Amino acid sequence: MKISWEEVKKHTPCFLIDKELLKKNLEEFQEGILRYWGRGMVAYSCKTNSLPWIMSYIKELGAYLEVVSDTEYALAKKIGCEDSHIVFNGPTKGKEAFFLALRSGAYVNIDSKRELRWLKEYDKLGENAGVGVRVNFDLEAVCPEESLTEGGGNRFGYNVENGDFEQVVKEIRELKNISLTGLHMHTNSKTRSFQVFEELSKKVCSLAVQYDLTLDFIDMGGSFFVKKGEFHKIHEYIKRISDILRQRFCPDKTLLMVEPGSALISTPVKFLTKVLDVKDTNKHRFVVTDGGRMYMDPFMRKTSHVYKLFTQSSNKKEEQIICGHTCMEVDRLMTLREEREIGEGDFILYDLTGGYTMSLNPLFIEYFPDVFVEEKGEYEQVREKWGLEEYLQKNVYGQDGEVS
């Protein structure tokens, strides 16, 4: 059932998804690959926002789904994604799901010692399979000050410098029925610049030469940084990656894969909150809203937001500290200076709230909020706010130890 904006305002706090912008973001990645490489795929990073509607809609638009746990793998299958359209990453896969993925034709990138042991077990079954290997190398050596760990190194994948990568390649080649078919290059960086992706591409080429690798796919991972409407930047990422990879690989023989998360889902999502109270102290004015900081800033890092005020006031206030609904002092979303005065019953609409928000929303004091999809000015509810029934499910409680 479609409802109006006025009806949506009765459901605060709530997330609002711009359906057309989400589609546009995905299409730009798909078109970039088609234009600059030719053969490839976009695999949406489900951990970034695993709302079932988002995963299902992206799948319907032709994208694959990238998952990093047995639970996410099961979720992808539950919403109708074929195994062959799933990219299975991460260091904590379970053995049963790992074997299922190999047997069912999913793209599997190994990332741990036990997965290598499991490959040897699977090889004895006599079933053919191909796997990718996640690469770990010293990015700081070629892109100084880009590490998120301040020189502490990346903990994912098989390290090139210490010989682990070489050993994995050697052991896979000794198997009768398993082939090394791809490299997985995902890494996080501070700036997520073009240079980072150029260096990742160069590393693919150098490893292919050094170890004489013939690859069916190259998975460049995600961590792209694209501001709202900067569609040209998506194409620039793909162009720079492709220009380097073409020096060693042929698009007719090797698929190019990318795994965008926030670059797809951050910009199409907004978060709507309502003002519940305004309180003055001898220090500040505090504006209390029904949407807490952890709903849209789960890492507790942001000090400012892109926002829109819905208020009839034209008076300017020197300072207003916007707070959430919890009883924590740190639940302060932002400080407005020389902005229109906000009062009880007004609304604040925050933009750019799709990445890692719903996936990391806590069950703290209040439960998961409503989610609506907006299309042409109308709204459809795709998740109903959690209440007691949802919270109590599978819990033991009460004097009689009831299970709900």
Contact 289, 369 (CB under 8 A): no
CA gap 269, 158 in Å, rounded:
35
The pLDDT score that the predictor gives to residue 144 is: 84
User: What pLDDT sits at residue 398?
Assistant: 82
CA-CA distance, 4 to 8, in Å (whole number)?
6
Please check the confidence at residue 399 and state whether its pLDDT lies above 70.
Answer: no
60 has a pLDDT exceeding 70? yes
Closest CA to 22 of 361, 382, 262: 262
> What is the biggest distance separating any 2 CA atoms in the chain, rounded to whole angstroms?
75
Please provide the size of the chain in residues: 404
Check whether 337 has a pLDDT greater than 60. Answer: yes
Q: What is the pLDDT of residue 338?
A: 97
Instruction: Output the six-digit token pair for 310.
Output: 């819905």
Q: Find, among 359, 312, 318, 335, the residue nearest to 48 by Cα.
A: 359
Statement: residue 49 has pLDDT above 70: yes
pLDDT digits (tens, 9 = 90+) for 165-220: 999 999 999 999 999 999 999 998 888 899 999 999 999 999 999 999 999 999 99
Mean pLDDT of 313-334: 96
For residue 157, what pLDDT band results from cuts at 50, 70 and 90? Answer: very high
Instruction: Write down the pTM of the prediction.
Output: 0.95
Question: Model confidence at 223, in pLDDT bands (50, 70, 90)?
Answer: very high
Q: What are the pLDDT digits (tens) for 5-35?
A: 999 999 999 999 999 999 999 999 999 999 9
CA distance 228 to 241: 22
**Contacts within 8 Å (CB) and 24+ apart, 62-70:** 62/30, 63/26, 63/30, 64/107, 64/257, 66/222, 66/259, 68/92, 69/93, 70/94, 70/96, 70/97
Q: What DSSP assignment string belongs to 79-145?
A: TT--GGGEEE--S---HHHHHHHHHHT-EEEE-SHHHHHHHHHHHTTT--EEEEEEEE--GGGTSTT
The residues spanned by each domain of the chain are: 2-14+267-392, 19-265
Q: Helix (H, G, I), strand (E, B), or coil: what is residue 335? A: strand
Distance CA 368, CA 377 (A): 24
At residue 121's C-alpha, the angle toward residues 115 and 123, to 5°, is 100
Between CA 403 and CA 308 the distance in angstroms is: 44
Which of the residue ranges 14-23, 146-155, 184-193, 224-233 has the most confident prediction, judged by mean pLDDT?
A: 14-23
Tell me which CATH homologous superfamily contains domain 19-265. Alanine racemase (3.20.20.10)
- Of 239, 216, 235, the closest CA to residue 226 belongs to 235
Chain segment 62-99, per-residue pLDDT in tens: 999 999 999 999 999 999 999 999 999 999 999 999 99
* CB 274, CB 346: distance < 8 Å: yes
| Distance (Å, whole) CA 205 – CA 183 | 10
Q: Cα-atom radius of gyration of the chain, to the nearest Å? A: 24
Instruction: Return the SS3 of 63.
Output: coil
Rounded Cα distance between 102 and 120, Å, is 12
Query: Which 3 state secondary structure label does DSSP give 378?
Result: strand
pLDDT at res. 401: 59
Strands 2-3 and 378-383: antiparallel
Span 273-288, average pLDDT: 97
User: Nearest Cα to 368, choosing from 11, 4, 77, 22?
Assistant: 11
Q: How confident is the model at residue 402 (pLDDT cuts 50, 70, 90)?
A: low
150 pLDDT tier (thresholds 50, 70, 90): confident
Does the structure show a pLDDT above 60 at 404? no
Q: What is the DSSP letter of 246?
A: T
2-14+267-392 in CATH: which number? 2.40.37.10
Dihedral sign of CA atoms 52, 134, 153, 209 in order: negative
